[in-house]
Structure 1
Amino acid sequence: MQLQERIELMSKLGDLLSKGDDELDVTISKAALHNPWFTQASVRHAIDAVCKNFLEKEALKAWSDNYNISDKYKKNVGLILAGNIPMVGFHDLLSVFISGHVAKVKLSSKDEVMMQFIISQLKRLDARSNSYFEVVDRLNDIDAMIATGSNSTGNYFSKYFGHLPNIIRRNRHAVAVVPNSISKEALSNLGKDIFTYFGLGCRNVSKLYLEDGFEIQRFFDAIVSYGDVIYHNKYKNNYDYSNALYLLNQIEFLTNNFLIVRESRDITSRIASVHYEYFTDLNQLESDLVANKDAIQCVVSQRAIGNLNCVNYGEAQSPSLTQYADGVDIMQFLTELHD
C-alpha cells in the first residue's frame, strides 16, 4: 500500500467509528464487561477522541508530510501496548502503519477487545492491510521495539530489547498549574483532566500546583458535577481504601466525599486522590517542573512552561497527532528505520 492509500484507510476507519453500528455497540459492551474500569461511556469517549484527533484525512496528510516516509522498505516493529485506558495504544499502531512498517503487536489483556476490533476492521476495509498487522503472544523476529509499561517493566524492556532501536516508556503523570486568577469554568474543565478514565491515564492530572493564597474550596465547588464518579465500584473501593489508610496513619487530607486532596511534594498520587503544593514564584515553579520533566507527561496550564508539553484546562486527554507520549517523536524514530 502507498502512503496515500494508508491515509485513506485510516480515514475510512474514522468514518466507521464515528457513524457506529450494532457491531461497534456490541464491542463496546464487551470491552466494558472485560475490564470493569472501562465503562461504555469511557470507551466511547476514547473513540471520539481518536476520531477527532487522529483520523481526519487532512490532519493525517499534514502530519505525514513532516516526515520522509518510504514505501519500499518495511521493518517489523514490535509493539507492547499499555491497557490502562481504552485504546491507549492506538497512536503507536497508527504511527507504525502510516510510516509503512509492519506492527507485531503484543496487546494488553486489559484492552484487547477494542484493539482487536480496530485491527479486524482495518483488515475488513482493505485486505491489503492484513500484511501490516500481526497480533502475537511473543515478540520474535523484530527490527525495532516500542514498549509502554511501568518503571519496573520499563527496566526489563530496556534490558531485553536494548540491542534493538527502541522507545521504552515508563510511568508518567500530568500536573496542573492553578493561579489565583483561574476562572470557575477553567477549574471545572480541570475536573475532566482528573476524572476522565477515573484518573488511570498517564495524561490524567495527579498533582495541582496552587498559587499561594488559592482557596481549595474554590476547586471543590467547581468539580461538583463529577461527583457521580464515586458510584463506580472500583473507584469507590480505591477512595475508601485511601481514606482509611490516611486516617489510620494520621495523614492530613481534605475531601469532598469523592476525591481526596493531600498536600505532598510527590507527583504520583493514589487513585481517587490528587496531591497539591503551593507556589509563590512562577519562575521557580518552571525550574522545578523542568527538573522533573521525566516524570511529567504534560502540564495543564494557561501559559507555556519551558519546553514542556502544555495543554489548556480540560484538554489533557485529547492529545493531537504531534503530542507524542514522553515527548519522543515516534514518527521520526520510525522513518529513520528506513535508512
Structure 2
Amino acid sequence: MNVTNKITLLERLGAYLNGQGTEEEREQLRLAKQKAFHQNGWFIPEFVDLSIQQIADNFLRRPLLEAWVAQYPGFGELASPKNVGIVAAGNIPLVGFHDWLTGFLSGHRIKLKLSSKDDVLLPHLIGKIAEWSPQAGEITEIRDVLKDCDAYIATGSNNSARYFEYYFSKYPHIIRRNRTSVAVLTGSETLADLEALASDALLYFGLGCRNVTKVYVPEGYDFEALMTAFKKFDWLMDNHKYKNNYDYNLALLMLNSAKFQTNDNLLLHENESVFSPLSVLHYSVYRNRAELEEQLAGNPDLQCIVAADRIPFGQAQAPRLSDYADGVDTPAFFAAL
C-alpha cells in the first residue's frame, strides 16, 4: 500500500475515534474502552477518552499526517521492507500508538509486543484497520515474543532497558527508559496557568513520562495559589488506587518527620529528585534561571520542560506528531532501515 492510501485509512480511524462511525461501530468502541478499564483500573473512562481524543485530534487528521510525512522525502516507499519489532509500554492508555503509527506508514512490517497493562485498545484499533483493508491489516502482527526482527523499538523501565540493550544490541534499535517532566515557575503565573499545570501533573494520575513530577520555584515563592489550583483534581481521591498511594505516601512523610504541604489530593514535598511517587509533587528552589536551565539541559531523565517560555502550561499531555519520545526521531529511524 502507498502512503496516501494508509493516510486515508488513518483519517477514517480518526473519524471512528470521534464517534462518526455507524451505531454498531460506536458500540464496538464503547465495549473496547470498557474492557480496557475492567482490565486495568488506572485506565478510567475519563483518561481513556482523553487519550483517544488527543490521538484523533493531534495524530489522525489528514493535513497533519501529510505535512508530517512530507518532512521525510520517499517515506514509506521501500524496495525491501524489514521486520521491525516494537515493545510497547502500558503506563497510560495507547502510549504505544505513535510508534505503531510511524511503523505503519513507514512501509516496514511491524511485529508488536503489547504490555499486559494495555493490550485491549491498540489491538482493537489495528483490528478496525484490518477490517476496512485486509491488505493494511497484514502490515502488523501482534506477538507474545519478539524474535527474528531486523530492528527494534522498546520502551520500558530502566531495569527492562538493560535487558533490551543486551538482547537487541546487534540490531538497529531505539531503547527508551524511565523519564519524567518538570515545570519552571517564576511566580507571575495566573490561576489559569496553574490550573493548566495541574493537568500536566495529574492527568492519567501522573503515570506518564510527560507528566510533571517536580516544579522549580524562585526564592520566596508562595505555594498557596498552586495548591488551590491543583484542587481541580480533588476527584482523583474517589479512585481507590490513587487514594491508597496518597495515604501511603502521607504516612511515610509523617513517619519521617518530613516537611510537606497538602491540599488533600496532592502532597508537596521539597526533594532534589525529579522523580516523585504517585500523589506527590516534588519541588526545589532556584536562584538563577540561567543556571537552572543549564542544569536541566544536561539531565537525561527529562522528557518535557513546562514553562511560560517552553512547553506551554497544560500542553505536556498533548503531544504532536513530531514530539518524539526521548527526542529520538522515529520516522528517521524507520527510514534509515
Which TM-score band (shorter chain)?
A: over 0.9
User: Which residue does 1:40 correspond to in 2?
Assistant: 45
User: Which residue does 2:328 correspond to in 1?
Assistant: 328
TM score, norm. by length of structure 1:
0.96
Q: Is the 8 A contact 1:2 1:71 kept in 2?
A: no
RMSD: 0.9
Task: State the alpha-carbon separation in 2 of the partners of residues 85 and 317 from structure 1.
Answer: 11
269-278 vs 221-230, which moves further: 221-230
Q: Is the 8 A contact 1:172 1:202 kept in 2?
A: yes
User: Which residue does 1:252 correspond to in 2?
Assistant: 259
Deviations 1:71-93 (Å, cap 9, x if unpaired)? 43211110000000000000000
Deviation of 1:14 after TM superposition, in Å, equals 0.6
SS of structure 1 residue aligned to 2:215: strand
User: Which residue does 2:104 correspond to in 1?
Assistant: 97
Q: Is the 8 A contact 1:75 1:143 kept in 2?
A: yes
SS of structure 1 residue aligned to 2:237: helix
**Aligned counterpart for 2:93 among listed residues 86, 89, 96:** 86
**Aligned counterpart for 2:127 among listed residues 100, 120, 127:** 120
Task: State the alpha-carbon separation in 2 of the partners of residues 216 and 82 from structure 1.
Answer: 34
Deviation of 1:329 after TM superposition, in Å, equals 0.3
Task: State the alpha-carbon separation in 1 of the partners of residues 161 and 231 from structure 2.
Answer: 37
Task: State the alpha-carbon separation in 1 of the partners of residues 230 and 253 from structure 2.
Answer: 22
Q: 1:62 and 2:67 equivalent? A: yes
Task: State the alpha-carbon separation in 2 of the partners of residues 223 and 137 from structure 1.
Answer: 40
User: Which residue does 2:302 correspond to in 1?
Assistant: 296
% identical equivalent positions: 40
Task: State the alpha-carbon separation in 2 of the partners of residues 102 and 233 from structure 1.
Answer: 41
SS of structure 2 residue aligned to 1:168: strand
**Aligned counterpart for 2:33 among listed residues 28, 36, 53:** 28
Task: State the alpha-carbon separation in 2 of the partners of residues 251 and 313 from structure 1.
Answer: 29
Q: Is the 8 A contact 1:81 1:107 kept in 2?
A: yes
**Aligned counterpart for 1:219 among listed residues 193, 215, 226:** 226
Q: 1:168 and 2:175 equivalent? A: yes
User: Which residue does 1:308 correspond to in 2?
Assistant: none
Query: Where does structure 1 lack aligned partners over 5 or more consecutive residues?
Result: 305-310
Deviation of 1:225 after TM superposition, in Å, equals 1.5
Task: State the alpha-carbon separation in 2 of the partners of residues 5 and 71 from structure 1.
Answer: 15
User: Which residue does 1:15 correspond to in 2?
Assistant: 15
**Aligned counterpart for 2:196 among listed residues 183, 189, 197:** 189
Q: Is the 8 A contact 1:206 1:274 kept in 2?
A: yes
Task: State the alpha-carbon separation in 1 of the partners of residues 212 and 290 from structure 2.
Answer: 21
Task: State the alpha-carbon separation in 1 of the partners of residues 201 and 179 from structure 2.
Answer: 14
Runs of 4+ deviating beyond 3 Å = none
Q: Is the 8 A contact 1:149 1:170 kept in 2?
A: yes
Q: Is the 8 A contact 1:81 1:147 kept in 2?
A: yes
Q: Is the 8 A contact 1:3 1:71 kept in 2?
A: no
Aligned amino acid, residue 309 of structure 2: R
Deviation of 1:64 after TM superposition, in Å, equals 0.4
Deviations 1:304-333 (Å, cap 9, x if unpaired)? 4xxxxxx11001010000000000000101
Task: State the alpha-carbon separation in 1 of the partners of residues 88 and 320 from structure 2.
Answer: 19
SS of structure 1 residue aligned to 2:178: coil
Task: State the alpha-carbon separation in 2 of the partners of residues 248 and 214 from structure 1.
Answer: 26
Q: Is the 8 A contact 2:231 2:265 kept in 1?
A: no
Query: Where does structure 2 lack aligned partners over 5 or more consecutive residues?
Result: 21-25
Deviation of 1:303 after TM superposition, in Å, equals 0.9
Deviations 1:153-199 (Å, cap 9, x if unpaired)? 01110011000000000000010011111111000000101110000
326-335 vs 224-233, which moves further: 224-233
Task: State the alpha-carbon separation in 1 of the partners of residues 288 and 27 from structure 2.
Answer: 54
The number of aligned residues is 330
TM score, norm. by length of structure 2:
0.96
Aligned amino acid, residue 307 of structure 2: S
Task: State the alpha-carbon separation in 2 of the partners of residues 73 and 183 from structure 1.
Answer: 54
